[in-house]
Amino acid sequence: MPQVSKNLFPKIDRFSDLKEHLNTLNLTNDVIADLTHFLQAENLSHRKQYKKNLPSAVNDLIEQIDIERFNWDIPFKPVENPKFTFIDLFAGIGGMRIAFQQLGGKCVFSSEWDKHSQLSYYENFGEMPFGDITEVNEQEVPKHEILVAGFPCQAFSIAGFKGGFKDTRGTLFFDVARILQEKHPDAFFLENVKGLYGHDKGRTLDVILRTLREDLGYYVPDPQIMNARDFGVPQNRERIFIVGFRNKAAANRFSYPKPLGVHTTISDILEDEEVSVKYYLSNQYLRTLVNHRARHEAKGNGFGYEIIPSDGVANAIVVGGMGRERNLVVDDRLSNFVPITHIKGSVNKKGIRKMTPREWARLQGFPDKFKIVVADSHAYKQFGNSVAVPAIQATARNLIRSLEG
């Protein structure tokens, strides 16, 4: 990168101004990751670690920033005087980060490979996640107290009779395990799909638990399936949570949270104002869905679209397939039926529409201040792949209390 005179940069007082300057430089996301991690670093040691990777032009830019008085004009500001530190792996758009930050945690490292998710994370947390976790050197990850990760579910090629750490090589869980082995955090919190329980006839979960308990020396209570609807959001979403502790007494103190007893419905998460006609189904597409479901029902299958009543609970929001069509709603507030997208036929007059990305965000417990900065197609994917923040936070609260004694 060519040298850029620091005189070209005026004093930079806030994140929004910093973004404008960064847009004028031809920087990779990983360079922006080093810079933003440097600016949010917990201590001088962490800052030195990130700064050594920065090109000179960016170091000139840093000289124009008063880090201690920097205005993080973003939805989720870095925590000052944190109670604990954590890292955010397979970070997505930061659902787990929100949960841990709201409990007083300071994120000291984040990683997410998807470029669109990186952008959403960057706009909301002022930090660009590092990319492919398989290319991250575990020795370069800062020391932290809690590791959090929503790693993908993958089968292992079990080479030996016992299974364990070595057998996880080639999978993304291995990247979680090698960081645990190197950094020895006090605890971890892993999230995965419910299907992990029976994946590969139970062998996948067996190898994961054996690696965590026997090879890495963590005390791991039996994993539990948690449902988002038990924690204040109207979505029937089951996920497996796995927590572990280096200290046996902390593990013995831990218990998974009980349902909150708070009943919410679809009416609680719908947009306050009339939404765009683009979310409403055309008559032709509605007929296609009706016929499609009828064909499957005739064969004894339950597959098809579903309209969720206002006092009902959504099905799990998922990416692809019938993810949006299984969570249709009736909203009769539409006043302009003129299509703004290329649809076949006219817009239906029954008020049947897909939920908006903001409504999916609310189904996952994301605060409304979370900025949606990507196209709808990416937003649906991001929220569908994310976590139910309230369920994560309730479990994280118990984990932190267990560490505190």
- Which residues are identified as catalytic? 153
**∠265-266-268 over CA atoms, to 5°?**
75
Single out the residue of 146, 142, 130 nearest to residue 35, CA to CA: 130
Give the Cβ contact number of residue 58 at 10 Å: 21
Please name the residue that has the structure tokens 């309730």: 394
- Write the DSSP string, 11-50: PB-BHHHHHHHHHTS---HHHHHHHHHHHH-SSHHHHHHH
Tell me the C-alpha distance between 275 and 273, whole Å: 6
Helix axis angle for 389-404 and 95-102, nearest 10°, is: 40
Taking phi first (over 0 means left), then psi (-120 to 50 degrees means alpha), and beta for anything else, what does residue 22 get?
A: alpha
> Kind and range of the H or E element at 314?
strand 314-315
Q: Which 3 state secondary structure label does DSSP give 176?
A: helix
CB 54 within 8 A of CB 27: no
